[in-house]
Amino acid sequence: MPYDDAINHLGSDSPYGGYVVSWSSPGVNGDPLFINIGADYPDTSRLTVVIWGENRDDTTEDIVDSLLGKEVVVFGSPYEYNGAAQIEIMDPSELLTYEEFIDAYENQ
């Protein structure tokens, strides 16, 4: 499903795709890393992927940075946060490039 349709499927575990347009790690409580797909914050049409600090290591930001401008697919169950869809993941490896997603799908 396209990233901007996630808001219409809250609680529905599905793959959502789009281009990584930005990411940030604001250093707030819980040390989250926010990855914006399809549109940048504060545009509520975006899909934000969150990786909490307890699930990050020294390579997480480099991995996410390498995804900027790439089309990715993330599996998850979106929920609404401040008008936008958001999905939490445990590891940046859960963000598949579109090519990785197609390869994985074809090899099932």
pLDDT tens, position by position, 18-33: 999 999 999 899 999 9
52 in Cβ contact with 12 (< 8 Å): no
pTM: 0.94
Helix (H) or strand (E) holding 56: none
In tens, the pLDDT along 50-88 reads 999 999 999 999 999 999 999 999 999 999 999 999 999
Beta bridge partners of 12: none
Measured CA to CA, the distance from residue 24 to residue 11 in angstroms comes to: 25
